[in-house]
């Protein structure tokens, strides 16, 4: 099995467990390590002599990708992995680890489960920023959300929005979050949007601080084409794609749709979405 490994640079306190896991991976298959992460591993004393390095720009896929870190680490590589049809398993060394399958202590056992087929592959919908002002965009992909935001100003944003060419409404407020089911427990939830089960075929549009009591989140089919024109008295606005922000002039129009591919996220066979909500988000917990 060809295994691609990547992670963040905050692993010092897990050095012992990480060293054992990396040595295991080098024996478990053909290990390739993302170049920057490999250099980081060597800098903290972890041997990677049996592995090869790869550059993000020349990555051509693997049978399995292993993400070590938090949800942000996995998000940062989601588009790349989905484009190359490479399933990913998350090993949590971050805070919440909502997308992760297990902790570092259980990582080797998780790889053994994957090799023997004792796991689930969840195909996650992704979003694509299709065009800006009519100009096609190239591979601007989000696993969680695309958010339209104010740019260093208190000026309200007016956002006429169409779904599949039909006028939906004009959102007025601080912004708008267009979320996948995977991202429904991220920015969308903070904006008051609905929680959606990861495998549902839908998207959520959730206004941020709307200037109307009647302006509520709405769920639409994931095959919807969403077009938003962004107007404000300020000169600039922001469009954030899974936290990566770009600045656009006021008056810009963006088209958003489902990406042409999905990300395969690996979980344990007994993984349960409701349990994850209760355990990691304390959903429904009685704090009295």
Please identify which of the residues 36, 55, 57, 71 carries the catalytic annotation: 71
Q: Which residues touch 195 (CB under 8 Å, ≥6 apart)?
A: 184, 185, 189, 277, 283
Burial of 281 (0-12, 13-18, 19+ CB in 10 A): middle
CB atoms within 10 A of CB 221: 11
| Apex 12 CA angle, 62 and 244, nearest 5 | 55
Query: Rounded distance, CA 123 to CA 146, Å?
Result: 19
Query: Rounded distance, CA 67 to CA 34, Å?
Result: 10
Query: Rounded distance, CA 47 to CA 5, Å?
Result: 14
DSSP 278: H
Is 118 in contact with 269 (CB distance < 8 Å)? yes
Is 180 in contact with 125 (CB distance < 8 Å)? yes
Q: Is 106 known to be catalytic?
A: no
Catalytic residue numbers read: 71
């Amino acid at each position: 099995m060809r295994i691609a490994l990547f992670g963040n640079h905050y692993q010092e306190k897990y050095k012992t467990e990480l060293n054992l896991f990396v040595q295991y991976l080098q024996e478990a298959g053909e290990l390739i390590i993302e170049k920057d992460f490999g250099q980081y591993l060597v800098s903290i004393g972890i041997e990677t002599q049996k592995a090869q390095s790869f550059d993000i720009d020349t990555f051509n896929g693997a049978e399995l990708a292993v993400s070590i870190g938090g949800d942000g680490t996995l998000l940062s590589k989601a588009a790349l992995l989905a484009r190359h049809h490479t399933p990913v398993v998350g090993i949590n060394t971050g805070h919440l680890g909502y997308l992760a399958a297990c902790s570092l202590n259980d990582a080797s056992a998780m790889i053994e489960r994957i090799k023997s087929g004792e796991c689930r592959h969840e195909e996650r919908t992704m979003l694509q920023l299709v065009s800006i002002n009519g100009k096609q965009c190239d591979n601007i992909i989000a696993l969680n959300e695309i958010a339209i935001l104010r740019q260093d100003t208190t000026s309200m944003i007016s956002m006429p929005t169409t779904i599949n060419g039909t006028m939906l409404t004009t959102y007025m407020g601080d912004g708008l979050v267009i979320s996948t089911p995977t991202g429904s427990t991220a920015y969308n939830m903070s904006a008051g949007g609905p929680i959606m089960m990861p495998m549902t075929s839908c998207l959520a549009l959730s206004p941020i601080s709307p200037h109307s009591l009647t302006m509520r989140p709405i769920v639409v089919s994931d095959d919807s084409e969403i077009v938003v024109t962004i107007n404000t008295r300020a000169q600039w606005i922001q469009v954030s794609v899974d936290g990566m922000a770009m600045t656009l002039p006021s008056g810009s129009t963006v088209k958003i749709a489902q990406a042409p591919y999905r990300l395969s996220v690996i979980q344990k066979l007994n993984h349960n979405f409701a349990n994850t909500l209760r355990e990691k988000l304390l959903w429904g917990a009685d704090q009295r």
